[in-house]
A and B are shown apart, each in its own frame.
Chain A
Amino acid sequence: MSLWEYANPVKFLALSARVQPVLWVASGLCISVGLIWGFFGTPDDFRQGSTVKIIYLHVPSALMAINAWFMMLVTSLIWLIRRHHVSALAAKAAAPVGLIMTLIALVTGAIWGQPMWGTWWAWDPRLTSFLILFLFYLGYIALWEAIEDPDTAADLTSILCLVGSVFAILSRYAVRFWNQGLHQGTSIPVATGGRTVSDVFFYPLVISMIGFGLLFLALVLYRTCTEIRVRRTRALLAREGQGA
């Protein structure tokens, strides 16, 4: 069995129907447990006070904002190289989810920043690259809507996605590339394993991150199925129009 089998819309829809219920339930459970544990069951931080509770939303949404773009990059490349329609539709389906995740990261960051940094916003490398990523999401969605021919739209949005990937990378590594700005460094460095977050905050945070990841997958699968149905509807209507 090959992964490319699922480039077939019928097989993709069948797989999604099997996987989605599990993803919806698992994401709902993980997000509920992560947020309820984080909000009700963790103490205040000695410096940040109760604003530390914002990390259970800010960190997972920021993580998914960047990962959504990388997923779009992979599916866009598959479209450009192999011309599988499902992959282009998956990229289209992921964009609004990534946009909302980026918006949540920006808003929660600003709300946290006001009491902690004394400002809602600073032209810090990570904040600025995130704002640009948000604008790329908007541009990507607008481009899909602006072009009537779906294949041309998929081509052009894929190119835009490749360009925007620079800012997705900058968003992730800005605090390492430029050792300046207000935003602190990575608290949970996966590569080194030397996290600076204490266990009491870490476990609910990880559960919330897993929940956001599963929610992203569930939403993207569901939205991709919707895009496949919309495309099929348009094709049938066009065929009817030609036959008449």
Chain B
Amino acid sequence: MMPELGKYATEVMAAYGVSLTLLAVLLVMTLRRGRRARAELERIEGRKNG
């Protein structure tokens, strides 16, 4: 249930919206780059060993 935010509802929602979006972008970019780096290393090590 949403709390009553009164006349500052826009400000509070904007602060939460922007912050959580920035954290989500950071998280997604971090995980995506990590997976790419791991796959690339495995591919090259596999080529070297195989």
Q: Do A and B come from one complex?
A: yes
- Using a CB–CB cutoff of 8 Å, the interface residues on chain A facing chain B are 35, 39-40, 44, 49-51, 53-54, 57-58, 61, 96-97, 100, 103-104, 107-108, 111-112, 114-115, 215, 219, 222-223, 225-226, 229-230, 232-233, 236-237, 240
Q: Which 9 pairs across A and B sit closest by C-beta, in order of nearness? A: A50-B5, A229-B37, A226-B34, A57-B19, A54-B15, A111-B15, A108-B15, A229-B41, A100-B26
B5 CB, nearest partner CB in chain A, Å: 4
B41 interface neighbour in A61, A100, A222, A233, Cβ under 8 Å? A233
Measured between alpha carbons, how far is A240 from B8 in the docked complex, in Å?
Answer: 60
> What residues of A have a CB within 8 angstroms of the CB of B1 in the complex?
40
Which label, helix, strand, loop or mixed, suits the secondary structure of the B interface? helix
Of chain A, the residue at the smallest CB distance from B38 is A229
For A226, what are the chain B residues with a Cβ–Cβ distance below 8 Å? 30, 33-34, 37-38
Interchain CB contact under 8 A, A54 and B22? no
Q: Which B-chain residue is minimally distant from A51 (CB atoms)? A: B8
| Nearest-Cβ distance from residue B42 to partner chain A, whole angstroms | 9
Chain B, Cβ-Cβ closest to A53:
B12
Interface residues of B in 1-50 (CB under 8 A from A): 1, 3-9, 11-12, 14-16, 18-19, 22-23, 25-27, 29-31, 33-34, 37-38, 40-41, 44-45, 48
Q: Which residue of A lies closest to B25 (CB)?
A: A100
**CB-based contact B8/A104 at 8 Å:** no
Contact of A236 among B3, B6, B8, B45 (CB under 8 A): B45
Contact across chains for B12 and A50 when beta carbons are under 8 A apart: yes
User: Does B22 lie within 8 Å of A103, measured CB to CB?
Assistant: yes
Which residues of B sit under 8 angstroms from A229, Cβ to Cβ?
Answer: 37-38, 40-41
For B18, list chain A residues within 8 Å (CB): 104, 107-108, 111
Q: A100 and B3: CB pair below 8 A?
A: no
Q: Residue A104 contacts which of B5, B14, B23, B48 (CB distance < 8 angstroms)?
A: B23
Given contacts A51-B8, A233-B41, A236-B44, contact A61 B3 (CB under 8 A): no
The residue of chain B having its C-beta at the shortest distance from the C-beta of A110 within the complex is B15
Nearest CB on B from A30, distance (A): 13
Chain B contacts of A215 at CB under 8 A?
23
CA distance A103 to B34 in the complex (A): 23
**8 residue pairs from A and B, CB less than 8 Å apart:** A49-B8, A50-B6, A54-B12, A96-B29, A104-B22, A115-B11, A215-B23, A219-B27
Specify which of A51, A219, A230 is in contact with B12 (CB 8 Å cutoff).
A51
> In the complex, A223→B6 CA distance in Å?
41
B10 to chain A, nearest CB (A): 9
CA distance A97 to B22 in the complex (A): 10
Chain A residue at minimum C-beta to C-beta distance from B2: A40
